[in-house]
């Protein structure tokens, strides 16, 4: 993944730490959202959300179909050449939504569509509760006053390059929230950034997940709008349903 793509889509790759803020205005999650997790490979860090003890949703741009990914609730670092953690990890295989298409979003040059992937774990993780998938069409009724909780493991300090621990913040939808029927547009400050891709967008104060962080406007300081792939569309839930039966 190139530096441009990492900035655009919010994955942390080796060599980029310290280039941007993360959940801007966020605070340590401290287990408030136990279903939020870090999803990582040797050279990439993203975020994810448990919909069952063996099913984790993340962003499709983070991993290739069929790739093995690691999932953890602990802190992820890269003291050497690869991302690592001292916390327990759970291994799984990535399945990318067949609708994923890089650079295909109309009106948002360079953005993707169908940016959803599932990591199916080889054994159940000890998650105390899972997120609840919103019914189809939930966000169609939202307006710009709707508050959204976001959670991610992205960079949290631009000066030190700190990242890899769960941060959370509450923001609001922008422009009535829904963009092109597929994305949620979120206000900045607080907002999501590098490494937060795949992290959950939740109806504020609940465990109901309506989307996952997808991309920003290519702003390396992460102080602009961010966009999230809706999980409350018929197409998204058609893909997810086969893993949740």
Per-residue pLDDT of the chain (245 residues; tens, 9 = 90+): 333 333 344 566 544 333 233 455 578 899 999 999 999 999 999 999 999 999 999 999 999 999 999 999 999 988 888 999 999 999 999 999 999 988 776 666 566 789 999 999 999 999 999 999 999 999 988 888 899 999 999 866 555 556 789 999 898 888 654 555 888 988 877 777 788 899 999 999 999 999 999 886 555 566 677 889 999 999 999 999 999 97
* CATH for 180: 2.40.10.120
What count of other Cβ atoms lies within 10 Å of the Cβ of residue 30?
10
What is the number of structural domains in the chain? Answer: 1
> How remote is the C-alpha of 116 from its chain's centroid?
9
User: Apex CA 136: angle with CA 189 and CA 101, to 5°?
Assistant: 70
Contacts of 233 (CB under 8 A, 6+ apart): 136, 181, 182
If phi over 0 gives left and psi between -120 and 50 gives alpha, with beta otherwise, what is residue 87?
Answer: beta
Alpha-carbon distance of 92 to 55, in angstroms, equals 9
Question: Which domain, by its residues, includes 52?
Answer: 3-241
Contacts of 209 (CB under 8 A, 6+ apart): 49, 51, 131, 132, 133, 134, 200, 201, 202, 231
SS3 at position 236: helix
Predicted TM-score of the model (pTM): 0.88
pLDDT, tens digit (0-9, with 9 covering 90-100), for 18-63: 323 345 557 889 999 999 999 999 999 999 999 999 999 999 999 9
Torsions phi, psi of 149, nearest 5?
A: -90, 130
The length of the chain is 245
pLDDT at position 9 is: 47
Nearest to 198 by CA among 84, 106, 94, 107: 94
Alpha-carbon distance of 37 to 130, in angstroms, equals 11
Strands (E), the chain: 12-13, 27-28, 36-40, 44-52, 55-58, 68-72, 90-96, 117-121, 132-133, 147-152, 167-179, 183-186, 200-203, 208-216, 226-230
SS3 at position 13: strand
């Amino acid at each position: 993944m190139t530096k441009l793509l990492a900035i655009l889509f919010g994955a942390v790759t080796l060599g980029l730490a310290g280039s941007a803020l993360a959940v801007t205005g966020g605070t340590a999650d401290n287990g408030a959202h136990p279903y939020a997790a870090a999803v990582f490979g040797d050279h990439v860090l993203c975020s994810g959300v448990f919909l069952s003890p063996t099913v984790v949703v993340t962003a499709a741009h983070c991993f290739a179909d069929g790739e093995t990914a690691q999932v953890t609730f602990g802190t992820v670092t890269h003291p050497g050449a690869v991302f690592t953690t001292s916390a327990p990890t759970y291994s799984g295989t990535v399945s990318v939504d067949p609708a994923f298409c890089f650079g295909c979003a109309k009106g948002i040059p360079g953005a993707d569509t169908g940016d959803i992937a599932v990591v199916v774990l080889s054994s159940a993780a000890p998650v105390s509760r899972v997120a609840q998938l919103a019914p189809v069409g939930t966000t169609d009724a939202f307006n710009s006053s709707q508050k959204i909780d976001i959670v991610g493991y992205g960079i949290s300090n631009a000066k030190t390059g700190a990242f890899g621990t769960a941060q959370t913040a509450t923001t609001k939808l922008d422009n009535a929230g829904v963009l092109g029927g597929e994305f949620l547009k979120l206000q900045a400050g607080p907002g999501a950034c590098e490494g937060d891709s795949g992290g959950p967008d939740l109806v504020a104060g609940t465990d109901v997940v309506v989307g996952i962080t997808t991309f920003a406007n290519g702003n390396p300081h992460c102080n602009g709008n961010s966009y999230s792939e809706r999980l409350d569309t018929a197409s998204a839930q058609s893909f997810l349903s086969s893993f949740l039966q």
